Structure 1
Amino acid sequence: MQEINQNLAEEAGLNITHICLPPDSSEDEIIDEILKINEDTRVHGLALQISESSFSNKVLNALKPEKDVDGVTDINLGRLVRGDAHECYVSPVARAVIELLEKSGYYSK
């Protein structure tokens, strides 16, 4: 999957960097890496690919909402739930579901 993402990004003129932490990285080690990325002005977005056991509120909310391309921070999820999808980053899957609901008439802006 990483290779496909890399190829698509190159075609679109985007630069992707894949950072691999050891599988046994602690919560603090993961957060430290996220905080470094938050401050890197060359990085415009971050997609977390971490184990399910590493998904904690502390880890997810270490990410700046404006760099949260999956829409997993409390701020982005809260905006989405309130119906303010235009004010936050929404994951591609959630965006597709919203569009399907809108087209079917079950959801309106």
Structure 2
Amino acid sequence: MDVPVRILDDGAWISVDDSREVGVSDLWRLSEHEFCECETADVLLEAFFEVRPNGDAVEVRAVGHCITCGERGSMGWLTIGHVEDGRFVPVDPSREHSVRPA
């Protein structure tokens, strides 16, 4: 992937190819016990602290909290989108996602 990725605005946004693409305002549905003890956690991201390309995927590490149980913490690598034909395509945060270990 030859597309630059970086964190902007003190962790509030992920920039892909110099364009703000993903912010911390979405709820991300994470698979069972990936973030907390909830069967499926709805996690409100509070800040991104690491971003990387992984093949055609763009992955982040973030801190957030589960809106069901209130658990707060950081997570492993979460795929937020892919680069296809030189363009960023975000994933749907409301679908269930797995987090890869940090």
Q: TM over 0.5, yes or no?
A: no
More helix as a share of residues: 1
TM-score (norm 2): 0.24
More strand as a share of residues: 2
TM-score (norm 1): 0.23
Q: Which has the larger radius of gyration?
A: 1
Larger RCO (CA under 8 A, 6+ residues apart): 2
